[in-house]
């Protein structure tokens, strides 16, 4: 059974930085602190949220990332990993990835509005119909856009296809 990302935000050690350091505060608080720190340093921020998954034997692991981009100054990310033994078709797994990204985006969107930070949800779904993941594109795009979020799919969806992909074990 899945616990929601909103439930995870109240548990402390489940989110981490790229260097492995655990985030000791609820994720919403950590994101607000990061935004304030970056704004005070004079950086214009954009946030991209994405999830990738990998099936290994009986387990599927999901990695969700919150990528903070400093305009012209690099970036950093917060990472959450979660494993399940639940079985998914490729389409189901793609839509679960999108649901995980939307869940955290929804939890944080009031912060992005408050601090005037642009945010996108990235889906690790190929726009080329020759790829199996493409079966989920229409539903994923409708889900993300229907929630009022900006949407990117492969090849522009770097938060899911590059960042989350690197941290899914």
For residue 20, is pLDDT > 70? Answer: yes
- Give tens-digit pLDDT for 91-143: 999 999 999 999 999 999 999 999 999 999 999 998 888 888 888 898 999 99
Residue positions counted in the chain: 169
**How are strands ordered across the β-sheet holding 75-84?**
15-17, 75-84, 59-70, 45-56, 118-126, 150-154
pTM of the model: 0.88
Confidence of residue 165 (pLDDT cuts 50, 70, 90): confident
Q: What share of the chain is helix, strand, coil (3-state, %, to 5)?
A: 45, 30, 25
In the block, which residue shows the tokens 């079985």? 87
Q: What is the mean pLDDT of the chain?
A: 90
């Amino acid at each position: 059974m899945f616990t929601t990302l909103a439930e995870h935000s109240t548990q402390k050690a489940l989110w981490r930085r790229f260097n492995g350091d655990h985030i000791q505060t609820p994720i919403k608080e950590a994101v607000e602190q990061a935004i304030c720190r970056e704004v005070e340093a004079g950086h214009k921020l954009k946030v991209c949220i994405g999830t990738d998954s990998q099936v290994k034997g009986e387990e599927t692991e999901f990695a969700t990332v919150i990528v903070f981009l400093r305009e012209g100054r690099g970036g950093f990310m917060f990472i959450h990993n979660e494993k399940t033994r639940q079985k998914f078709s490729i389409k189901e797994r793609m839509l679960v990835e999108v649901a995980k990204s939307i869940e955290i985006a929804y939890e944080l969107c009031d912060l992005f509005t408050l601090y005037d930070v642009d945010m996108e949800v990235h889906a690790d779904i190929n726009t080329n119909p020759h790829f199996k993941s493409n079966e989920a594109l229409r539903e994923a795009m409708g889900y993300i856009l229907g929630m009022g979020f900006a949407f990117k799919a492969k090849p522009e969806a770097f938060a899911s296809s590059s960042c989350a992909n690197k941290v899914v074990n």
